[in-house]
């Protein structure tokens, strides 16, 4: 039986959302670009002819179009802390000693690549994105909801209709950074010093169409407000973020000893230049949440995590060296 217009539109929205998820979140395209574009144009035509069926979470709403005079301020009910930096194995061992002394037992750690982007916070109500915000000073950030919606790896709707707040890093892939600077040079514009600055300048654009053009991506890493989720450790939390539809970094590893942590760090010190995104170190976190809660926070940072920083990268990676994934 012939589909109604509403069914055609809903069907296209669903398909295009699934294809975009595979491409931008899982790095595993399921259709080629030409086919995606063909369906996308069909959806734009149908939604234009029947705006009553255009939904706020349709893939066509990713193009931006809001121009603001400035950013509203956002108060982070749960502050975004920064991490204490360490620069040597000795400091990591000292961190582990402090943790064991405070808790009275050994712990397992989770190592995560330290993505060199800018921190963002995303708030969902009933599974719908309601607010995107920059970290700011950790308590007061900027409302970048319009721009967040143009970042293709940020889900507009979660797989569960829950209230939750998550945090992560918004970054610009190395290849996009190199292409953006080449384009800016040709146009006689100033170039960005590094992908982090390019990401910050792109997510804090007053014209969300510009943000949409910058091919930003994300890796989420924290459940700020767990909502109804029952997770006991960071590894589980990251799996939940995956299940909800977020993009998380798959290089993470649970390590039961500091020697394993150090082996992880050394392995990524060598792989760093081949990664399609910039990292400036490795974040080491006590994995278990009850241990984290017992360790708590200082005024500015958690006692249950440190950021091991790599020495500044030597030569800027050439485009040939990079694996061409988003």
Ligand X SMILES: NC(=O)c1cc2c(=O)c3cc(F)ccc3oc2nc1N
- Sites of contact with ligand X (CB under 6 A): 81, 83, 112, 114-115, 119, 169, 221-222, 283, 302, 305
Q: How far is the CB of 18 from ligand X (least distance, A)?
A: 27
Cβ proximity to ligand X: between 24 and 221 the closer is 221
Q: Which residue has the tokens 């931008």?
A: 24
Cβ proximity to ligand X: between 203 and 212 the closer is 203
CA–CA gap between residue 42 and residue 12 (Å, rounded): 8
Of 2, 14, 69, 114, the catalytic one is: 114
Question: Distance of CA 318 to CAs 60, 174, 179, 263, Å?
Answer: 34, 9, 12, 26
Q: How far is the CB of 152 from ligand X (least distance, A)?
A: 19
Q: How many CB atoms lie within 10 A of CB 186?
A: 8
Cβ proximity to ligand X: between 59 and 173 the closer is 173
Cβ proximity to ligand X: between 113 and 180 the closer is 113
Which of 56, 57, 42 is closest to 9 using CA atoms? Answer: 42
Residue 208's DSSP bridge partners are: none
Residue 123 is among the residues annotated as catalytic for this protein: no
Residue number with the smallest Cβ distance to ligand X: 81
Q: How far is the CB of 244 from ligand X (least distance, A)?
A: 17
Q: How many CB atoms lie within 10 A of CB 89?
A: 15
Q: How many CB atoms lie within 10 A of CB 205?
A: 20
Q: How far is the CB of 134 from ligand X (least distance, A)?
A: 13
Q: Which residues have a catalytic role annotated?
A: 114
């Amino acid at each position: 039986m012939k589909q109604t217009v509403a069914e055609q539109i809903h069907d296209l929205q669903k398909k295009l959302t699934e294809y975009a998820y595979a491409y931008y979140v899982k790095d595993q395209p399921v259709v080629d670009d030409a086919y995606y574009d063909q369906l996308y144009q069909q959806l734009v035509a149908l939604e234009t002819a029947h705006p009553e069926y255009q939904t706020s979470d349709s893939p066509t709403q990713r193009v931006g179009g809001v121009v603001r005079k400035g950013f509203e301020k956002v108060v982070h009910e749960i502050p975004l802390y920064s991490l204490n930096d360490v620069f040597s194995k000795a400091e990591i061992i000292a961190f582990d000693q402090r943790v064991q002394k405070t808790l009275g037992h050994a712990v397992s750690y989770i190592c995560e690549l330290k993505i060199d982007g800018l921190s963002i916070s995303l708030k969902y109500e009933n599974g719908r994105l309601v607010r995107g915000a920059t970290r700011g000073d950790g308590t007061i950030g900027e409302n970048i909801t319009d721009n967040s919606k143009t970042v293709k790896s940020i889900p507009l709707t979660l797989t569960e209709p829950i209230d939750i707040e998550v945090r992560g890093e918004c970054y610009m892939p190395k290849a996009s950074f190199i292409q953006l600077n080449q384009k800016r040079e040709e146009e006689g514009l100033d170039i960005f010093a590094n992908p982090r600055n390019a990401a910050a300048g792109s997510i804090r654009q007053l014209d969300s169409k510009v943000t949409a053009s910058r091919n930003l991506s994300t890796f989420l890493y924290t459940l700020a407000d767990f909502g109804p989720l029952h997770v006991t450790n960071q590894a589980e939390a990251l799996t939940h973020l995956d299940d909800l539809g977020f993009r998380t970094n798959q290089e993470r590893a649970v390590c039961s000893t500091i020697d394993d942590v150090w082996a992880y760090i050394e392995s990524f010190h060598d792989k760093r230049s081949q990664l399609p995104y910039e990292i400036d170190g490795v974040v080491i976190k006590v994995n278990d949440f009850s241990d984290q809660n017992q360790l708590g926070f200082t005024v500015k940072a958690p006692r249950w995590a440190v950021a091991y920083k790599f020495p500044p990268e030597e030569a800027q990676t050439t485009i040939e060296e990079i694996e061409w994934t988003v």
